[in-house]
């Protein structure tokens, strides 16, 4: 299907298709049809719609119906928190199950890293952190040597940023805008929100030329009137307590407070008043994962579309977004306006429901984790109403936050954009850290592991819980036993000595910190439970190799790269339109064919011969090798690899230099294509050219190896100092004024090369 506006018959087909996505078999709302058409026109979209209005299906539907019209291989669905990703992951899986389409849905988060290279899923549900850290060449969960594998994950794909108003403006929001701007020719994005302010909408229009879509005022009224949804708002006269909750508890009631400690106290109070324990649940961030999952199931059972009976849930901010739950009564402490509107979206969310939002005051000293002025501003703006419309809520949000958002954008816009480019450039050159600084501000929380004796225990092998540093300072000042993780310390954990500033994980004795399934973590109270064991996710990559001829490996990588390109670069798709199909095919062809030219160095082949001869008695080195037999789990192989002489040199820099000296290279590629191909060959093992780069003469098998690829074996000598400097200057042109123009192709070639190299190596190993 060609991209553009769909014909009437196809729109009719889409409406039937959309209706099949749910049990109710409702056709799409008018705004959902407009969103679909905007996506098929390949526009970047800013989608503003009230909570519960079907935003998720509004973007998944067009992709599932025709990703060909979008020209995208995958849909990457990013959310602010991994706890929210589970809900969308389940929804997407259910949609694909209904369709029986064979679409693969994967999850990529720190807790569930099923798709670390963003290659397995047709729909990949993930977090902002995972997407942005990859684009900024500092991917979370991957090794430093893999820093550039995910640098082009958005190329050829459509990316959805859900609840983007929860991004820090001066960090993740502007970083995401900057990164998507760099890849604007080869990706499309959808930015979804119920509560973003006008300045954020204007920034998306300015930077990405987004088309704003969503229900009109009349459609919003019709949407809620047609669904028979009614919401009232009532302001309380005193702080929330258990008697307020009991007054509402005959109907499904959701309580949201701002602090874990107050949520725990409220839970205890209502149980003390005799409320049945099997009808109430407490949910906040200080539970172990298995207990948190059980509590989320309780919420879905009692507050989902088919509730099993009235119940009470007491929660913190963890229910503000991403959970498709609804209560007849919502009791909430006053909070920033955008958070209040998100909470209100959990009241009377489903068709035919009526509900009341009760907002209770707080004194300024109880405002944490929010600022007192945010609390005061919200309280002064809201008013009792029998009809809280989405339009009124949006007006409140703009009144409360627009001015501050505008100031943040004005202060940080230019610096964040330039810092993103600098971060990518420095990571390419030096594997520099710092991506996290462009995604989130410094956190006031530290991960806590409960342990009587943490000696020699890696934090990744135990579950941990986030706790505010200020809370822990008070705890350890009282004499609690605590240790800070220090990988350089003899037992990995050194006794706490008063400074939590740089700590990211701390172990605390259960003697001073209690954990129960009902209340979660409580500090200053003696307990017995230690953090449960967890299996840390395996780092991606391969650990063993089989002897493989250089020509066989080069051709296998070329074949795999071209197969990948055939799947991702469809006719008229985003990649073909943005890069040019013929140019991209040429670049992939030569980059993959030449990626391991550096292994034809004389010293590399002499090392391979010496190693393989000791590993395989009787071995005859009559053909150049790309891989020797190696098992990373074998101490003998690791020792042999290290001790074999001559030592094995790095090969990527030599490969890029050799490629640049071949006449066929300059004859087949344009100057811009040459630049990107050389950069991808150079960085396909995560490195870059430096003054220490060694490029030796080629081995005697050089000419034979190239002839097997039907290429002339042009004689190449080791570069002189002057030649080396000239080559470095040529590579550094990538980092001059044209970096943002050349980077997308360079990043995409590098990604394809690294993934194809890994896949071809796995295939060769499996055939042995």
Three-state secondary structure call for residue 599: helix
pLDDT digits (tens, 9 = 90+) for 117-147: 999 999 999 999 999 999 999 998 888 889 9
Q: Which two tokens stand for residue 349?
A: 């969310």
Two domains, one topology: 8-223 and 230-389: yes
Overall average pLDDT of the 109-118 stretch: 89
Rounded to 5°, the CA angle 406-409-414 comes to: 150
Tell me how far CA of residue 168 lies from CA of 411, 504, 676, in angstroms: 13, 21, 33
Q: CATH for 544-766, among 1.10.357, 1.10.3470, 3.30.450, 1.10.3210?
A: 1.10.3210
Residue 181 clears pLDDT 80, i.e. is over it: yes
Overall average pLDDT of the 315-329 stretch: 84
DSSP state of 113: B
Overall average pLDDT of the 653-669 stretch: 92
pLDDT band of residue 223 (cuts 50, 70, 90) is: confident
Give the integer Cα–Cα distance in Å for 319 and 301: 15
Tell me how far CA of residue 399 lies from CA of 232, 377, 404, 499, 610, in angstroms: 20, 9, 10, 41, 73
Residue 222 clears pLDDT 60, i.e. is over it: yes
Three-state secondary structure call for residue 214: coil
Q: What is the CATH number of domain 8-223?
A: 3.40.50.300
pLDDT band of residue 225 (cuts 50, 70, 90) is: low
Overall average pLDDT of the 402-424 stretch: 93
Tell me how far CA of residue 152 lies from CA of 68, 191, 449, 481, 737, in angstroms: 20, 19, 36, 46, 20
Give the integer Cα–Cα distance in Å for 173 and 164: 7
Strands 445-450 and 465-468, by their bridges, are antiparallel
Three-state secondary structure call for residue 308: coil
* Percent above pLDDT 70 for the chain: 96
Q: What share of the chain is helix, strand, coil (3-state, %, to 5)?
A: 50, 15, 40
Give the integer Cα–Cα distance in Å for 618 and 631: 20
Instruction: Check residue 734 and give its pLDDT.
Output: 76
Overall average pLDDT of the 449-471 stretch: 90
Q: 337, 378 in Cβ contact below 8 A?
A: yes
Q: Looking up tokens 């003469």, which residue turns up?
A: 697
H or E segment at 514? strand 513-516
Residue 277 CB: number of other CB atoms within 10 A? 11
Instruction: Check residue 102 and give its pLDDT.
Output: 84
pLDDT band of residue 539 (cuts 50, 70, 90) is: low
pLDDT digits (tens, 9 = 90+) for 485-503: 888 888 999 988 777 777 7
Residue 543 clears pLDDT 90, i.e. is over it: no
Instruction: Check residue 610 and give its pLDDT.
Output: 96
Instruction: Check residue 7 and give its pLDDT.
Output: 61
CATH 3.40.50.300 given to domain 230-389 = yes
pLDDT band of residue 177 (cuts 50, 70, 90) is: very high
Residue 353 CB: number of other CB atoms within 10 A? 18
Q: Looking up tokens 């500092």, which residue turns up?
A: 138
Q: 680, 750 in Cβ contact below 8 A?
A: yes
Give the integer Cα–Cα distance in Å for 563 and 609: 32
pLDDT band of residue 158 (cuts 50, 70, 90) is: very high
Q: Looking up tokens 């993740």, which residue turns up?
A: 172
The region of weakest confidence among 75-79, 289-293, 609-613, 654-658 is: 289-293
Overall average pLDDT of the 541-555 stretch: 85
pLDDT band of residue 4 (cuts 50, 70, 90) is: low
Overall average pLDDT of the 703-731 stretch: 87
Strand partners, 493: 485
Residue 712 clears pLDDT 90, i.e. is over it: no
Give the integer Cα–Cα distance in Å for 148 and 155: 14
Overall average pLDDT of the 3-15 stretch: 70
Q: Which two tokens stand for residue 187?
A: 């990706």
User: Mean pLDDT over all residues of the chain?
Assistant: 90
The domains of the chain are located at 8-223, 230-389, 445-523, 544-766
């Amino acid at each position: 299907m060609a991209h553009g506006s769909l014909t009437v018959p196809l729109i009719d087909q889409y409406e039937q298709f959309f209706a099949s996505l749910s049990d109710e078999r409702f056709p799409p709302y008018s705004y959902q049809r407009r969103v679909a058409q905007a996506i098929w026109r390949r526009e970047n979209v800013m989608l503003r719609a009230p909570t519960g209005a079907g935003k998720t299906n509004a973007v998944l539907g067009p992709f599932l119906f025709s990703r060909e019209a979008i020209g995208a291989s995958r849909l990457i669905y990013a959310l602010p928190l991994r706890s929210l990703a589970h809900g969308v992951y389940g929804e997407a899986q259910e949609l694909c199950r209904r369709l029986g389409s064979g679409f693969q849905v994967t999850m990529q988060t720190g807790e569930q890293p099923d798709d670390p290279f963003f290659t397995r899923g047709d729909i990949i549900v993930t977090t902002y952190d995972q997407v942005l850290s990859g684009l900024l060449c500092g991917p979370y969960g991957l090794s430093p040597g893999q820093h550039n594998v995910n640098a082009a994950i958005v190329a050829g794909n459509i990316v959805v940023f859900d609840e983007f108003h929860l991004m820090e403006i001066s960090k993740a929001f502007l970083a995401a805008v900057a990164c998507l701007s760099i890849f604007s020719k080869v990706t499309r994005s959808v930015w979804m929100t119920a509560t973003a302010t006008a300045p954020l909408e204007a920034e998306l229009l300015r930077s990405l030329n987004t088309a704003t879509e969503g229900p009109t005022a009349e459609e919003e009224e019709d949407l809620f009137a047609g669904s028979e949804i009614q919401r009232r708002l009532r302001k309380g006269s005193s702080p929330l307590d258990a008697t307020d909750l009991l007054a509402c508890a005959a109907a499904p009631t959701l309580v949201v407070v701002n602090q874990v400690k107050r949520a725990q106290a409220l839970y205890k109070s209502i149980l003390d008043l005799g409320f049945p324990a099997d009808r109430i649940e407490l949910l906040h961030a200080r539970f172990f994962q298995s207990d948190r999952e059980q509590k989320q199931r309780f919420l879905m059972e009692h507050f989902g579309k088919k509730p099993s009976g009235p119940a009470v849930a007491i929660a913190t901010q963890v229910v503000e977004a991403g959970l498709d739950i609804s209560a007849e009564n919502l009791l909430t402490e006053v909070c920033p306006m955008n958070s209040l509107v998100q909470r209100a979206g959990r009241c009377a969310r489903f068709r035919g429901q009526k509900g009341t939002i009760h907002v209770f005051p707080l004194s300024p000293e109880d405002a944490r984790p929010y600022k007192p002025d945010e609390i005061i501003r919200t309280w002064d703006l809201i008013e009792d109403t029998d009809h809280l419309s989405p339009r009124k809520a949006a007006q409140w949000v703009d009144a409360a936050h627009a001015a501050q958002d505008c100031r943040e954008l004005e202060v940080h816009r230019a610096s964040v954009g330039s810092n993103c480019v600098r971060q990518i450039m420095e990571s390419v050159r030096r594997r520099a850290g710092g991506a996290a600084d462009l995604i989130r501000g410094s956190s006031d929380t530290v991960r806590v592991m409960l342990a009587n004796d943490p000696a020699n225990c890696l934090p990744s092998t135990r579950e941990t819980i986030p706790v505010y540093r200020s809370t822990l300072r008070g705890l350890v000042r009282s004499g609690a036993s605590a240790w800070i993780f220090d990988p350089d310390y003899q037992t990995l954990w050194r006794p706490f000595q008063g400074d939590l500033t740089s700590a990211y994980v701390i172990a605390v004795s259960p003697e001073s910190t209690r954990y129960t399934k009902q209340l979660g973590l409580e500090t200053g109270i003696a307990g017995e439970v230690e953090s449960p064991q967890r299996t840390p996710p395996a780092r991606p990559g391969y650990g063993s190799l089989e002897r493989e001829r250089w020509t066989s490996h080069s051709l296998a990588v070329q074949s795999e790269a071209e197969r990948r390109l055939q799947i991702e670069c469809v006719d008229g798709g985003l990649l073909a339109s943005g890069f040019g199909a013929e140019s991209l095919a040429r670049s992939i062809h030569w980059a993959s064919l030449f990626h391991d030219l550096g292994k034809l160095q004389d010293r590399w082949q002499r090392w391979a011969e010496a190693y393989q001869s000791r590993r395989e008695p009787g071995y005859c080195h009559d053909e150049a090798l790309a891989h020797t037999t190696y098992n990373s789990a074998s101490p003998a192989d690791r020792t042999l690899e290290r001790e074999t002489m001559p030592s094995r040199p790095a090969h990527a820099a030599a490969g890029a230099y050799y490629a640049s000296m071949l006449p066929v290279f300059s004859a087949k590629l344009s100057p811009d294509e040459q630049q990107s191909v050389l950069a991808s060959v150079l960085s396909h093992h995560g490195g870059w050219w430096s003054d220490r780069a060694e490029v030796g003469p080629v081995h005697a098998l050089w000419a034979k190896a190239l002839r097997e690829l039907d290429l002339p074996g042009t004689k190449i000598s080791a570069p002189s100092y002057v030649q080396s400097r000239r080559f470095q200057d040529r590579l550094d042109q990538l980092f001059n004024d044209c970096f943002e123009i050349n980077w997308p192709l360079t990043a995409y070639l590098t990604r394809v090369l690294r993934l194809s190299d890994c896949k071809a190596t796995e295939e060769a190993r499996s055939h042995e």
